[in-house]
Amino acid sequence: MGWAIPVAAQLDNITNREAISALKTALDKGSRAAVDQLGRENGFFGDTRVKIPLPESLKRAERTMRRLGMGKYADELVLTMNRAAEAAMPEAKQLLVDSVKKMTVQDAKGILTGGETSGTEYFKRTTTDQLRKRFLPIVKKSTEKVGLAQKYNQYAERGVAFGLVKQEHANLDDYVTQKALDGLYFMVAEEEKKIRKDPVGTASSIIKKVFGALL
């Protein structure tokens, strides 16, 4: 059941300040771990949970390319997309840390009494727009280096015109940026669930004290 539903009797000796401090420590710890994990080489490309594939709308084209002996192009495109997401990750750390610092008492209470990923949902609400703006230029720079974005966009625009490609997949950089965000919040959620499940396994005494009481 985790620590989603606090029991008053278990929290008698824990102050609001301690509870909020523990929450902030946990979210800070989890978000840093997620960024570090995804921001290294193969952070995205080597993890099937977050690896960025070609958009579903282009899977048919990918199969055709491979039949025609053009699989190298498809592989290069997939690798470039994932490398771009990895390169963008360091931008997330400070924004996530700042989001924790700006958390209100009301925010904290909602997260403490919320579900197992309520902290991650808080991050989504408070950082998505800023992260998108930070990620996009880095993604563009990465895809421009190999000249793949222009080829992709030309193909995708024609696909949209014929109803073969979804509009939201028509721009490679926008697609990769969204997938990078999805991967980041997925990993933050995994870290949050880990801390909620095993607070005693964390290094912080305040996390052990508060979240241990909420188990």
**Residues 6+ positions from 209 with CB-CB distance below 8 Å:** 14, 18, 22
Q: Which of 8-12, 31-35, 59-63, 151-155 has the lowest mean pLDDT?
A: 8-12
* pLDDT > 70? residue 91: yes
Tens digits of per-residue pLDDT, 180-200? 999 999 999 999 888 777 765
- Contacts of 69-75 with C-beta under 8 Å, sequence gap 24+, read none
d(CA 90, CA 88): 6
Compute how many other C-beta atoms are within 10 angstroms of the C-beta atom of residue 64.
Answer: 11
- Condensed to tens digits (0 to 9), the pLDDT of residues 105-159 reads 888 888 877 888 999 999 999 999 999 999 999 999 988 876 666 766 766 666 6
SS3 211: helix
Quote the tokens at residue 144.
């421009």
What local confidence, expressed as pLDDT, does residue 12 receive? 45
Residue 94 sits at φ, ψ, to 5 deg, of: -65, -40
